[in-house]
C-alpha cells in the first residue's frame, strides 16, 4: 500500500509514502498530498535532480522531537524551534515516480 496522506496511524511500521521531494530547515522531506511533511532521517537535502519531483519513499515511520520548542525572551523575541514531534522515515530508500 502506498500512502499519500497523513500516515500517523502507521507509526513504527515499514511504509511507502508518495509525495513531492522538498527541502526544509531541518532536512529533506517528502510533502504528502494533504501537506503533511515527513522528514527523511540522515538526509540534509535532496539532490537537484529530485528536488520538487514526485517521489516514492520506503522506510520505518517514527515520531521524533527534531528541535527544541521556541522560547520567548523578556523582550518578546521568539527563538527558532518547533513544537511537538515530527514524522520521520528511518532507513529510507527512494525513487522518482515517472
SS3 state of residue 8: helix
Distance CA 29, CA 94 (A): 12
For residue 70, the enclosing domain spans 2-92
- For the stretch 11-45, pLDDT in tens is 999 999 999 999 998 899 999 999 999 999 999 99
**Domain CATH number, residue 31:** 2.40.50
Answer whether residue 48 is part of any domain: yes
Answer whether residue 22 is part of any domain: yes
Answer whether residue 71 is part of any domain: yes
Q: Which of 5, 2, 25, 29 is nearest to 14 (CA)?
A: 2
Answer whether residue 98 is part of any domain: no
Q: How many domains are contained in the chain?
A: 1
Query: Can you give the pTM of this predicted structure?
Result: 0.83
- For the stretch 35-87, pLDDT in tens is 999 999 999 999 999 999 999 999 999 998 767 677 788 888 887 766 678 89
Answer whether residue 97 is part of any domain: no
Whether residue 41 contacts residue 90, with contact meaning beta carbons closer than 8 Å, is answered with yes
Amino acid at each position: 500500500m502506498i500512502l499519500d496522506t497523513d500516515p500517523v496511524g502507521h507509526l513504527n511500521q515499514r511504509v511507502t509514502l508518495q509525495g513531492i521531494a522538498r527541502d526544509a530547515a531541518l532536512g529533506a522531506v517528502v510533502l504528502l498530498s494533504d501537506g503533511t511533511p515527513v522528514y527523511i532521517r540522515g538526509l540534509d537535502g535532496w539532490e537537484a535532480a529530485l528536488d520538487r519531483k514526485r517521489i516514492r519513499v520506503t522506510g520505518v515511520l517514527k515520531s521524533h522531537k527534531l528541535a527544541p520548542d521556541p522560547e520567548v525572551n523578556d523582550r518578546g523575541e521568539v527563538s527558532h524551534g518547533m513544537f511537538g514531534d515530527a514524522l520521520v522515515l528511518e532507513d529510507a530508500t527512494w525513487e522518482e515516480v515517472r
